[in-house]
Amino acid sequence: FAGLDRDFAVEGVLSASYQMHDSLSASAQFQHDLISEHDGYELQLALRTSQKAGAITYGASLGARHRNGDLNDYLIGVSVVEATAQRSAYHPGQSTSPFVGLDMRIPLNHRAVLFANLDIAFLGKTYKDSPLVDKNTSASARFGIAYGF
């Protein structure tokens, strides 16, 4: 990745969810560049089912993430200036990737919740064709504590 020009980006997120049934919800999330580093955006739509085991809530999600060409250029694109003999220039365009996810939430008290998420995205041709990507899937894991004020 030597010679790639990627600076710090700050992105804002708007999200909404709708509880369709006791154990089924739909969500939408829009993420956009706030400081004009890449001017890109991502839109995510998902369905989530959840169950409770005592105080612990666990769930599974199925959805898709759409990224516009500006965000993909920033993430997996290679400009003409960044191209080398081993890395060709690449302008990816937009992409849509389906994903599955698992999550768990454990309340610590009436304000704090311990959470963990695992997502696996199935990358399409846009990502497979990038000289920066050598996999067909992308996995991410997150964990932390959420505190409500």
pLDDT digits (tens, 9 = 90+) for 53-63: 999 999 999 99
Residue 133 has which token pair? 């990507």
Bridge partners, 138 (sequence order) = 121
Amino acid at position 133, single letter: V
Q: What is the pLDDT of residue 2?
A: 82
Tell me the pTM.
0.87
44 C-beta neighbours (distance < 10 Å), count: 19
Please give the torsion angle defined by the CA atoms of residues 34, 36, 37 and 40, in that order, rounded to the nearest 10 degrees: 80
d(CA 141, CA 139): 7
Amino acid at position 115, single letter: F
3 state SS for 77-130: CECCCCCCCCCCCECCCCEEEEEEEEEEEEECCCCEEEEEEEEEEECCHHHHCC
Q: What are the phi and psi torsion angles at 4 (to 5°)?
A: -85, 135
Closest to 76 measured CA to CA, from 87, 65, 64: 87
Residue 14 has which token pair? 């708007």
pLDDT digits (tens, 9 = 90+) for 49-90: 999 999 999 999 999 999 999 999 999 999 999 999 999 999
Stretch 17-23: mean pLDDT:
94
Stretch 97-102: mean pLDDT:
98
Burial class (CB in 10 A: 0-12, 13-18, 19+), 22: exposed
